[in-house]
Chain A
Amino acid sequence: MSIIPFLGNMSLETIVSSTLSPHMLSAFAGFVLPPGSTSIFNPAGTPAHSIFSLSMLVLSITGGVFVVVGGLLLYALLRYRHRAKDPGSNEEPQQIYGSTQIELSWTVIPILIVVMLFLATARIIFATQDAPKPQNALDVTVVGHQFWWEYRYPKYGVVTANELHIPASDAQTHTPVYLSMISADTDHSFWVPRLAGKTDVIPNRVNTMWIDADAPGLYLGQCAQYCGLEHAKMLLRVYAQTPADFAAWVAHQQQPALEDPSVAEGRAVFEHNACISCHTVRGTVATGTFGPDLTHLASRDTIASGSVPLTRDNLHEFIANPASFKPGVLMPPMHLNDHDLDLVTDYLMTLK
C-alpha cells in the first residue's frame, strides 16, 4: 500500500528528477567534498540515498516557497512604496476588510504543501523501517558507552570497539547490516551521515536500524546526542570491506590474542594490574567488560574512540594519562613506573 495515495507508486527519485537531478547533485557534492566527509549530500548507502532524495524534494519545494513569498514581498515593497507624485499619496489607503478567496488560498495551499511534505517524509521513514530483512543479514549489537562504542557480532563471537567493520554491497549482492543498539549509561546517538540517518541509543531500550554501504571505504560519524564531558570525541568509524576482506577480518578477530614470548614481561605487568578488571584480552585472565576489548587492539587504526591514530607513542601516553587525549575518559591514570609502562605498551602493540 502506498503511503501517499495521490502519488501512487511513483518513487521519490522519479518525482525529484523531474525537477532536479539528484545524481548530478550527488556527483557535484562528491567532487566538492573531500573523501571521508560526513556530508548528507554525499550519500553512500540506501537509507542515505532516500534521505538525500527527500532533502532535495523538500529543498526544491521550500526554495520555491521562498522565491514566491520573497518575490511578492519585494514587489509589494517596491511597487507600493510611498511616492509623493502619486495622486492621493498622503491619504489613508483603501481599507480591505477580509477576502474569503484570498484567505482560503493562503490557508489551503500551505496546508496542501505541509501534508505533501509530511507524507513524503513518512513514506521514506516507513520504507526504511519496513524494508524486509534478508535471511543471511548480519546482526551487530551496538553498545554506547561514555565515551566509546562497543560492537558485538553474536554470530561470529567477535567483540571490538570504535571501528565497525561491515561487508560492502555491490551490484549483485545487497548486504544490509542490522544494528541492535543499547546504552551502558546515558543517551547517545549513532550517526554516520553518508550511510543512514541518526538513531538514538537509549538506556533500558533496544533501538534498531540497518545500514549498508555502496562501496568499500571508511565512513566517519559522530555520537550525535550530547552525552557528557567527552561527547565531542566519541567518534564513529565504519569500515566497509569487500566480502572477502570482511571474511578475512572476521576470521582474524575470532582468533584468541596473539602470544609473543618476547613481550611476556609486559603481559605479566598487564595481568597484575587493574587493567584486567575493565579490559578483556581473550585467551588470558583479562575478562573485564567495562572498557573496550583489547584482544586485537593493534589491528585497529585509532585509539581513544577515534581521537588519535594508534601509534606506540600515542598508546604510551594514553596509558600513562588517558585524560591527555580525552579529558573525562573514565579510565584512570595507571601510575605505572616508566619501565612497566614501556613493557605494557610493547605488549599491547603486539595484539594484532
Chain B
Amino acid sequence: MSSTAKPEPVPTPDTEPFWDGCAAGELRIQRCLDCGRPYFYPRPVCPACGSVQVEWVTASGEATLHSYVINHRPAPGYENDAPYAIAVVQLTEGPRMMTSIVGIPNTPDDLVLDMPLRVRFEPRGDVFLPVFGPVADQ
C-alpha cells in the first residue's frame, strides 16, 4: 500500500476552462480564430501563428493510440498500478495529449498503436482527469 497520493493537477487561469470541461464530461481544446488550427495544452497564444484570438471548443473525445511506454518502476502513489501504460493519444482533431489507458490490459499485446480510443473522465482530487479506453466499452 502506498501512503503517497497520486499527483493532482492544480488549474491556473489559462487552464481552468479545460478542467471545467472535464468536470462537465467534455474534452475542451483551444482553436485559433485566425488560422483555424486546434491546439493543446491550454495557453493564451496560438502556437501555429502567434494570434491571441483563440476560442475554446469541445473535442469529439475520439483519438488513436500514438505511442506509449509500460512503466515497471511506479511513481509514488502508483505502486498498486504497476506495470502501467503512459500513453500519448492523437485526438481526431489533431492535437496530442498524454493520458492513461483504461479498460484494456496494459500489455504490449493489448496496446496496439493506432487503435481507436475514446475519452472518459476519472476523479482525481478536486478535478476530473481525462483518460482513454476502448470505443466499444461505452
> Are A and B associated in one complex?
no
